[in-house]
Amino acid sequence: MGKLGELLTHPDELLPMASMYMAARRAKQLPQEPGLAFCYDMLNRVSRSFAIVIQQLPAGLRDAVCVFYLVLRALDTVEDDMSLDPALKVPLLRCFHEKSYDRKWKMSCGSGEYVRLMENYPLVTDVFLRLDQRYQSVIADICQKMGAGMAEFVTDSAAESEVATTKDYNLYCHYVAGLVGIGLSHLFASSGLESESFQHTEDGVANEMGLFLQKTNIIRDYLEDITEEPRPRMWWPKDVWGLYADSLEAFRDPAQSTPALHCLNHLITDALGHVESCLEYMSRLRQPNVFRFCAIPQIMAIGTLSQCYNNHKVFTGVVKMRRGAVAKVMYRLDDFADVCAAFLNYAEDLKAKVDQAEGDPNQQKTQQLCAKIIASCTQRLKAAGAAKKAEKAAALAAPVPVTARLSMLVMALAYIVYAYRIDAVRAWLGVAPPKNAETLDQVNVLVASTFFLYAVVVMVLGKKLF
């Protein structure tokens, strides 16, 4: 039954799915300006989910983030194209940041929609050069650092392209995703929507936000990466997978399912170590739209890890969150308490699976990490609840302006006159009293009197009572 079957079994996802459908339609409504139209059209073609999430951002910042994303996707296309000679690829990666200042530069490489992106890169360049100088500087700086980092991992052979150690794994994830988190933080600060601390002091937790997302993708994409043509590009670190098999290809053998799952769970455990920093970063965001933009992918990441844990389908097919579950995340997310509640939910689901993974060599460590995440989310939820109570108390204690008090008193007086003279009002309007007029009139008098007394108290005390 497909999508219809999902809705029938999860009726609470109907409204979120409808909301996401409308968001997807809005994402396809392109700007009139040709360069921007191309950029947002490409965004829809290469990442529909990101095209929806980016709508959370205000217009000026949204354009900068869109260009930032496409510049880095173009850089990534150069890195991913295994048909390019390393003698050409490495220098190009190192100088790619300069191409956004060259209105004529373009090339043919990559596959699918990325060919179109690279062949029409001057349109991206045109939009980039019309961005505020602060945005241009951030994008160029991150692109330069990312390109230089990617170049370090380009080699001539598939055997040499393996990530040897967890240290290398973390470094690669920093170059391709941690720098994205840092760059976005700098764009947020440059826009004035977040504090200046996001320009520098938040780089550590911003980097971990990127690492958490990238490691989730690397774990989930095992099958896609190992079957890539003309040769695989694998990022699982050898000092981890080497504990369980002689080669990464061995994990595809059904007879090796147990060591394959142990390796998978090992990497998931490693990724969970970034969760606390991710929560800390999101707790510091103050602009609601920026917050939602950052939080949605993070919730999807821990949801995906929960789906992948001890799941052999990672080695045979595609594992991802259901569209309805993703829609619910986007539909219900309002504040940091919602993030904590979502992380708590997925961490509890994950811990339940870990508890059943008898014989897994990392079971105890994974349980400890899950327990830590659960405790952190529970504590942060309590703090968020206390903060809301304090905010409500502060709002009640705040003085009510004299003009507001006078306006309330005037309205209360008008209402009480109406309530006590309602027969005269009906006669003046030529309206016959209803059958239950006596009861309704008494209710009106009671409500009007209560409102009047409240207005008098607020007028005298100068603050709200509730």
Q: Please indicate whether residue 426 is annotated as part of the active site.
A: no
Annotated active-site residue in 293, 309, 336, 346: 293
In a domain, 429, yes or no: yes
Residue from 187, 157, 405, 362 nearest 264 by CA: 362
CA distance 149 to 138: 17
Q: Please indicate whether residue 38 is annotated as part of the active site.
A: no
CA dihedral (441, 443, 448, 449) positive or negative: positive
In a domain, 406, yes or no: yes
Verify that 309 and 364 share a domain, yes or no: yes
DSSP, residue by residue, 382-443: HHHHHHHHHHHHHHHHSBPPHHHHHHHHHHHHHHHHHHHTHHHHHHHHT-PPPTTHHHHHHH
CA atoms within 13 A on the CB side of 35: 16
In a domain, 178, yes or no: no
Verify that 237 and 372 share a domain, yes or no: yes
Question: Tokens standing for 161?
Answer: 């392209």
Residues 6+ apart with CB under 8 A from 315: 222, 223, 251, 252, 257, 260, 264
Question: Tokens standing for 2?
Answer: 């497909």
Verify that 424 and 336 share a domain, yes or no: no
Cβ atoms of 127 and 35 closer than 8 Å: yes
Judging by beta carbons within 10 Å of its beta carbon (0-12, 13-18, 19+), is residue 190 exposed, middle or buried?
buried
Verify that 43 and 135 share a domain, yes or no: yes
Verify that 135 and 214 share a domain, yes or no: no
In a domain, 104, yes or no: yes
Verify that 135 and 164 share a domain, yes or no: no
Verify that 137 and 228 share a domain, yes or no: no
In a domain, 176, yes or no: no
Which of the listed residues 395, 419, 453 is the one where a domain comes to its end?
395
CA distance 36 to 282: 29
The pLDDT score that the predictor gives to residue 21 is 82
Report phi then psi at 244, rounded to 5: -120, -15
Annotated active-site residue in 73, 220, 380, 405: 220
Q: What is the pTM of this model?
A: 0.82
Question: Tokens standing for 313?
Answer: 């389908």
Cβ atoms of 212 and 301 closer than 8 Å: yes
Q: What is the residue whose two structure tokens read 């060591």?
A: 259
Type and span of the H or E element at 141: helix 133-152
Verify that 323 and 377 share a domain, yes or no: yes
CA distance 353 to 347: 10
CA distance 50 to 318: 19
The pLDDT score that the predictor gives to residue 439 is 85
In a domain, 283, yes or no: yes
In a domain, 174, yes or no: no
Q: Which domain holds residue 163?
A: 156-168+196-395
Q: Please indicate whether residue 233 is annotated as part of the active site.
A: yes
Q: Please indicate whether residue 103 is annotated as part of the active site.
A: no
Q: Which residues in the chain come in under a pLDDT of 70? A: 1-10, 156-162, 387, 389-397, 466
Question: Tokens standing for 342?
Answer: 């979502």
Annotated active-site residue in 40, 172, 198, 452: 172
Verify that 344 and 327 share a domain, yes or no: yes
Which of the listed residues 375, 395, 415 is the one where a domain comes to its end?
395
CATH number assigned to the domain comprising residue 146:
1.10.600.10
Q: Is 463 helix (H, G, I), strand (E, B) or coil?
A: strand
Verify that 116 and 39 share a domain, yes or no: yes
Q: Tell me the per-residue pLDDT of 188-226, one tens digit each, with 9 for 90 and over.
A: 999 999 998 898 777 899 999 999 999 999 999 999 999
Which of the listed residues 154, 179, 209 is the one where a domain comes to its end?
154
The pLDDT score that the predictor gives to residue 158 is 45
Is the preceding omega at residue 434 within 30 degrees of 0, hence cis? Answer: no
Annotated active-site residue in 233, 323, 332, 426: 233
The pLDDT score that the predictor gives to residue 99 is 96
Verify that 120 and 200 share a domain, yes or no: no
Domain count, the chain: 3
CA distance 23 to 48: 10
Beta-bridge mates of residue 399: 463
Verify that 161 and 48 share a domain, yes or no: no
In a domain, 18, yes or no: no
